[in-house]
Each structure stands twice: as structure tokens, then as C-alpha cells.
Chain A
């Protein structure tokens, strides 16, 4: 997609390249990279930095025993077999294959639950250090006003939303931090579908929403 204006920042992309990012955030990054060639190039460059650090590693630390058993490795080779060329098990659709594997299919397989005011969500199964969900916001509707603890990533898959700061269309990634309190509103036209991840629970402003929060897991 060539119209993407909001990209992954270096911190997230380096952490993903290094393999230290949470599973939930990694899913958002992998989905964005599937849609965005510019970030794919940056990702592979950051992987090259990892390669450069790897080639430096043992020389800078010769005090530890880093010998690896060659005979045992050759036995592993004999016991294993040639890796298959990675085949897309998924059909092309709205969701890239990483996301499809978490949903168990494309958009029509999502098990939505209503969270009120027309908004629906589906929490995807990942490790607990962060969470990720799909959001369905009807065209023209607002997502409840909320602030954040930690970081929230919102990737648009379909439609578009606006908040106080900017417009986010398909492929665009919004990165919101602790300081940001915003009210995203889905644009008129197509319903907005987003993939959103947080590394801390959202806090909603209204009392009723705050009471409902533990039950809704949002």
C-alpha cells in the first residue's frame, strides 16, 4: 500500500527485529509490515544490524565457554528433514496471514462481541504481557473516550478514523502513549476495522464504563 502515512517507530521495529517485543505487539507489527513495503525494508535493515552484532559477539566476550557440540548437531541434522518452503495456508483476504492464523480465518470468521454503542471487539489469544483485539467501529461512530497506561497501537485494516491529531486510513498505525487522551471517530462510509494492542488495560473516563471494564476486558 502506497498511501500509508503513519508507520512503526524505530523502538517497536528494533524490538520486533530483536525478538524482544510481546506477542500481541508483534502481531500488530507483522500485520503492518505485511501491508507496508517501507517498513519491511526498515525491518530487514534492523535485522542486518542484529546480524552485525551477532558477528561481533564472541570476540568481545571470550571469558565464557561458548563451544557448541558439533557431533550432537550433526545427529540433529540426520534426525531432521529439509524444511518445506513456507506456503500460505490462508486465502488472500482483508487480513494478512499472520492475523488470519490468530483469528482462524478472515473477517467472516471473527467472533465479535458487543462492547456497547455499536462497537464490537474480538480479543485474540496471545501471551498475557500485552493484549490484542480486533475492533469494529460502525461508520461515523466514536470509540469511547479513554486514556492509556503504557502504549496502545491501533492499526487500521479497513475504513478510517480521525482523532484530535490526525486521520488514519488502511495500513496506518497510531501509536498512543500515556500522555495521549483521544477520542477516535470512525469516518462516514465504510465501517472501520482495526487491530489494537495495549501493554496495560485502558482506562475509560466514565464511571459506568470504569465499572464495566473488568467484565469487558478492554
Chain B
């Protein structure tokens, strides 16, 4: 399929020829769609990497996830008020946990970012606050070994859209939401009207939970 003179960008999408005249509006939209689909491809690639770790203990796939997530986890922890050496220790631990828990990841319910976020959150409570974290009952023994590809695709797309939607919020609003997640706001300081556009991702999660419940019956 690949020929020497075909140009590809990182996402594997064919580049638009530069000289092709496009209307300004169409051009803008095209550009944006392309960014979104690059991110989508990235999300799907991360899912693939977790499955490669699960099925083949693939160290190259791990290195790929590490390169992306380890600095983000460390940066997130530092922003939440963790000192640098503790953040380093915690980030290493989170990434090692990702390896050991690869078989527990459910790509119909969460993106890899979300999953890593929850691992980091729990590890931080454990290490820094020396507290237990009470968790809700699990619905099942674990995820389906072969999840429906369309379900995975939809959830990963929704996760990408959420990142985009968050970036498009007014600065002040986005700032407040970030503060809540970095622990700079208490529960009573967080408004009930966060303005977060969560309708569609909720429908996807609801569907995934219903399917899990159905399998359990």
C-alpha cells in the first residue's frame, strides 16, 4: 500500500496537498477535524499498547505509553502540591501499576488517560495521605477479554471530544475545574453548575455499564 512518494503525517492520515485551494471556512474546519482525528488515533494507539502489554508483555508498547504518560503524571502530581522527589517515586509506581494491571483496563468504559488518572489518584492518596480509599463495589470480575471494537471506538472518540471541549471552555471556567482536580477547591467550593459538557460521554458509559450488567446475569 505504501509508496515512497505518499506523504503521511503522524496519525497516518494522508496530508492534504498544500496547493489545493480551499475556502477559508472549510479550511479551518478541515484543520480542526484533522487535529481531532490525530488525537483520536493517538487514543486508540494507547489502547492498543495496553492490550499489547496485556497479551504479549510488550516492552516497546510500554515505552511508548511511558514516554507520553510518565511526565504528565509527574507534572500533575507536582501541580497538586506533591514535592518533586515524591512525584517521581509516585509516577514510577503508577507506570509499573499500569503494566501489572493491564488485564483490568476496560477500553469501553475509559480512555487510557482516564485509567492512568485513576491509578495516579489512588496511589497519591495511599502514599501521601496514608489513607485508604473506599471504592464502590465492582460490577464484574473484570472487563470483557474481547470488547466490541465499535464500543471502544465510540468511547475513545468521546474522550477525545471531551479534551477538546475542555480546551474550548472560557479560561475562567476551565481554571476553576482544574483547581478542583488539583485539590485547590474543597467540595463545598465547587459549583453545582460546572458547565462541563458531559452528556454524550455519560451515554457511552451508561451503555458500557448496562452491557457489563447484562453479561453478569
Residues of A within 8 A of B (CB): 9-12, 14-15, 17-21, 23, 25-27, 29-31, 33-34, 37, 40-58, 61, 64-70, 72-74, 76-77, 80-83, 85-88, 96-99, 101-102, 126-127, 151, 177
Whole-angstrom distance between the Cβ of B212 and the nearest chain A Cβ? 11
Quick check: which of B6-14, B16-24, B179-187 contacts chain A, the rest being far away? B179-187
Q: Please list 29 pairs of residues, one from A and one from B, whose beta carbons are closer than 8 Å in the complex, sorted by A's number.
A: A9-B192, A10-B192, A11-B191, A19-B125, A19-B133, A23-B131, A30-B136, A47-B117, A47-B118, A48-B114, A49-B166, A49-B181, A49-B196, A49-B198, A51-B110, A55-B163, A58-B71, A58-B74, A61-B75, A64-B78, A66-B74, A67-B71, A68-B73, A73-B70, A73-B95, A80-B99, A96-B136, A98-B134, A98-B136
For the complex, is B44 an interface residue (Cβ under 8 Å from A)? no
Asked if residues A66 and B202 are in contact (CB atoms below 8 Å), the reply is no
> Main SS of the interface on chain B?
helix
A68 and B136 contacting across the interface, CB-CB below 8 Å:
no
B125 contacts across to A, CB distance below 8 A: 19
The interface size of chain B toward A, counting residues with CB under 8 Å, comes to: 78
Of the candidates B96, B117, B135, which one forms a contact with A73 in the assembled complex, judged by CB atoms under 8 Å apart? B96
Secondary structure dominating the interface of A: helix
Partner of A48, one of B99, B103, B162, B190: B162
Q: Are A19 and B206 also in contact (CB < 8 A) when A31-B134, A56-B167 are? A: no
A41-B202, A41-B209, A54-B76 known; A47 and B141 CB under 8 Å? no
Q: Which residues of A contact B73 (CB under 8 A)?
A: 54, 68
B183-A18 in contact (CB<8A)? yes
B180-A47 in contact (CB<8A): no
Complex: how many Å from CA A37 to CA B214? Answer: 14
Chain B residues lying within 8 Å of A67, measured Cβ to Cβ, are 70-71, 74
Q: What residue of chain B has the Cβ atom nearest to residue A43's Cβ?
A: B136
B51 within 8 A of A: no
